[in-house]
């Protein structure tokens, strides 16, 4: 058996989906262990271009079993839409290749509603939520006020539990936000409609994965977002509401004692960030526009333009450390083809002091980037498939990242297609 987690080193959108799709060839099971439908993992392969939100990026490999672990926010409505959309494009999804943990909590319509209400209340100070209900969902889960998917098999107890939660949630919706209360009938209708659809996929994924591990199956864990958005280690409070680190993979999947043999950290060749919060390297104006266009940096889920900037080695080194990456994949190197000179942030200046250490979130807001400039390769590298064929300046750029963050770079991605990869 081998185990590997594919995780984001930066703010998310690093290209984890394309790396999972590529590496799945060597694995039997792909597991999403945290987050929800707010992800937008883009995969381009022989079937076309897809943006996956909740489904693991292993769904395109017919022999692979995909698992949604207990740590995910199970948005049954969006999941169903996603399943139907893939089926319409001839991707087979059935209980044989998709297993959902009966211990995953259900993201209910009121989570999305509360997310939107809270962002509206915050006004100019909003976090930039994708409004998929993730923050209210996880806070309810930690308050022990969610429904486990497995409760769908116990309709009487489920109805009673839902009625209790409804009473509590309606107090929040009406008294805190002045919104309309949720009606029990529409809630039951929603639960019935989507519950019946996902029931065939539900099982004890812990038991399934233990049996698979005993049979020496290879397990690939797929994370959402990146280290800088991790609830405990990221740029709080501009984080997501769950743990995006590799360390959470065992807990969120159903195999709490499994050891990860490998952690492949995905690093984008430049920086992008969705939503609010400190983003030390941010570019503005024409330069930003050029980079955003070159990289197609618009949210896969929301279509929002992403904030962009040069590679941030201070943040990247921190991401590598917190993820415990054993190897890295650098993606979107081809996007920098147009640059003659490439600026890279190698240190921050915080209150007059230069540092290569990633600061506390509040100090991050006061940090300024210190840039060094490197030669660009200034030619099209998107058809290169061998390290030796990369221009020397592109090799030096990759080696710079490797040396400064202290982790070997095993993959260099030069295009979105499955084969647009250089193995080192
Ligand atoms: P994820 O959420 O980490 O899976 O990343 P996203 O899917 O949000 O963002 C990655 C985007 O970049 C997608 O549109 C990919 O198709 C694309 N992509 C991934 N790797 C490369 C690459 O090496 N070069 C280029 N040009 N595009 C890439």
DSSP conformational letter for 221: E
Rg (C-alpha) for the chain, rounded Å, is 22
| Number of separate helices (H) and strands (E) present in the chain | 12, 20
C-alpha separations of 59 from 66, 103, 142 in Å:
7, 21, 30
Model confidence at 48, pLDDT cuts 50, 70, 90, reads confident
The DSSP line for 382-424 is TT--SGGGS-HHHHHHHHHHHHHHTS-EEEEE-SSBTT-EEE-
* Number of Cβ atoms within 10 Å of the Cβ of 196: 11
Q: Is pLDDT of 396 > 70?
A: yes
Ligand 1 within 6 A of CB of 56: no
What atom of ligand 1 comes closest to residue 266's alpha carbon? Answer: 3
Output the residue whose Cα is nearest ligand 1's atom 18: 416
Residue from 1, 37, 41, 39 nearest 17 by CA: 41
Residue 125: pLDDT band with limits 50, 70, 90: confident
Q: Can you give the pTM of this predicted structure?
A: 0.94
Report the alpha-carbon angle 400-6-404, nearest 5. Answer: 15
Show the CA angle centred on residue 28, arms to residues 207 and 78, nearest 5°.
Answer: 75
**Residues 78, 181, 71, 234, Cα dihedral to 10°:** 100
Regarding the beta carbon of 416 and ligand 1, being less than 6 Å apart is answered yes
Among the listed residues 21, 41, 102, 115, the single catalytic one is 41
Beta bridge partners of 5: 221, 263
Concerning whether 232 is annotated as a catalytic residue, the answer is no
285, containing H or E segment: helix 285-295
The CA distance from 128 to 160, in Å, is: 35
pLDDT over threshold 90, residue 300: no
**71-110: pLDDT as tens digits:** 999 999 999 999 999 999 999 999 999 999 999 999 999 9
Question: What is the Å distance from ligand 1's center to 411 Cα?
Answer: 14
Beta carbons of 16 and 279 less than 8 angstroms apart: no
**pLDDT at site 369:** 98
Sign of CA dihedral 298, 300, 302, 307: negative
- The CA angle 11-306-266, to the nearest 5 degrees, is 35
Name the one residue in this structure whose structure tokens are 């050029």. 290
CA atoms within 13 A on the CB side of 277: 22
Which residue, by CA, sits nearest to atom 12 of ligand 1? 15
Question: Cα(401) to centroid of ligand 1, in Å?
Answer: 19
Q: Is the pLDDT assigned to residue 376 strictly greater than 70?
A: yes
What does the mean pLDDT of the chain come to? Answer: 95
Do 224 and 32 meet the contact criterion of CB atoms below 8 Å apart?
A: yes
How far is CA 162 from its chain centroid?
Answer: 30
Residue nearest ligand 1's atom 8 by CA: 13
CB 53 near ligand 1, within 6 Å: no
Question: pLDDT grade, residue 242 (50/70/90)?
Answer: very high
Q: With beta carbons less than 8 A apart as the criterion, state whether 99 and 65 touch.
A: yes
The answer, yes or no, to whether any atom of ligand 1 lies below 6 A from the CB of 14, is yes
Q: Is the CB of residue 300 below 6 angstroms from any atom belonging to ligand 1?
A: yes
Predicted pLDDT of residue 24: 92
Residue 40 CB less than 6 A away from ligand 1: yes
Domains of the chain, CATH where assigned: 3-103+201-264 (3.40.440.10), 105-198 (1.10.300.10), 267-423 (3.90.170.10)
Ligand 1 center from residue 34 Cα (angstroms)? 20
Please tell me the predicted confidence (pLDDT) of residue 301: 66
| 41 belongs to the catalytic site | yes
Distance 266 CA to ligand 1 centre (A): 10
C-beta of 241 in contact with ligand 1 (< 6 A): no
Q: Residue 198 CB: number of other CB atoms within 10 A?
A: 22
Measured in degrees and rounded to the nearest 5, phi and psi for residue 48 equal 130, -155
Alpha-carbon distance of 292 to 8, in angstroms, equals 19
Which H/E stretch holds residue 311?
A: strand 311-312
Residue 152 — pLDDT band, cuts 50, 70, 90? Answer: very high
- Ligand 1 centroid vs 224 CA: distance in angstroms? 13
Q: Residue 155: pLDDT above 80? A: yes
Interacting residues of 349 by C-beta distance below 8 A, sequence separation 6+: 355, 367, 368, 369, 370
């Amino acid at each position: 058996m081998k185990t590997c987690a594919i995780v984001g080193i930066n703010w998310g959108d690093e290209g984890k989906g394309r790396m999972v799709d590529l590496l799945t060839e060597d694995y039997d099971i792909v597991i999403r262990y945290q987050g929800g439908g707010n992800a937008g993992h883009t995969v381009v392969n022989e079937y076309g271009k897809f943006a996956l939100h909740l489904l693991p990026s292993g769904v395109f490999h017919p022999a692979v079993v995909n698992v949604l672990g207990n740590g995910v926010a199970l948005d049954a409505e969006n999941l169903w839409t996603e399943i139907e959309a893939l089926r319409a494009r001839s991707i087979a999804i059935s209980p044989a290749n998709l297993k959902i943990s009966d211990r995953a909590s259900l993201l209910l319509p009121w989570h999305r509603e509360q997310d939107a209400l809270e962002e509206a209340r915050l006004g100019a100070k909003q976090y930039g939520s994708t409004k998929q209900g993730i923050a209210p969902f996880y806070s309810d889960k930690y308050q022990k006020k969610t429904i486990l998917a497995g409760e769908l098999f116990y309709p009487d107890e489920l109805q009673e539990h839902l009625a209790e939660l409804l009473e509590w949630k309606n107090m929040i919706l009406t008294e805190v936000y002045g919104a309309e209360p949720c009606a029990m009938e529409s809630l039951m209708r929603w639960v019935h409609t989507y519950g019946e659809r996902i029931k065939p996929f539900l099982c004890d994924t812990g038991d399934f994965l233990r049996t698979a591990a005993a049979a020496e199956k290879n397990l690939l864990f797929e994370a959402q977002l990146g280290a800088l958005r991790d609830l405990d280690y990221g740029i709080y409070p501009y984080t997501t509401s769950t743990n995006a680190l590799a360390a959470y993979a065992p807990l969120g999947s159903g195999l709490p004692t499994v050891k990860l043999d490998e952690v492949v950290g995905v690093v984008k060749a430049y920086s992008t960030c969705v939503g609010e919060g400190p983003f030390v390297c941010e570019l503005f104006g024409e330069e930003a526009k050029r980079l955003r266009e070159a990289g197609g940096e618009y949210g896969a889920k929301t279509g929002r333009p992403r904030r962009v900037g040069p590679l941030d080695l201070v943040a990247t080194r921190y991401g590598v450390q917190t993820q415990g990456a054993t190897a890295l994949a650098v993606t979107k190197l081809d996007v920098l083809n147009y640059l003659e000179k490439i600026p890279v942030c190698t240190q921050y200046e915080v209150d007059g002091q230069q540092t290569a250490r990633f600061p506390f979130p509040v100090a991050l807001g006061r940090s300024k980037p210190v840039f060094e400039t490197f030669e660009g390769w200034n030619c099209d590298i998107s058809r290169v498939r061998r390290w030796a064929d990369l221009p020397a300046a592109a090799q030096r750029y990759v080696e710079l990242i490797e040396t400064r963050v202290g982790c070997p770079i095993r993959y260099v991605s030069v295009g979105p297609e499955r084969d647009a990869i250089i193995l080192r």
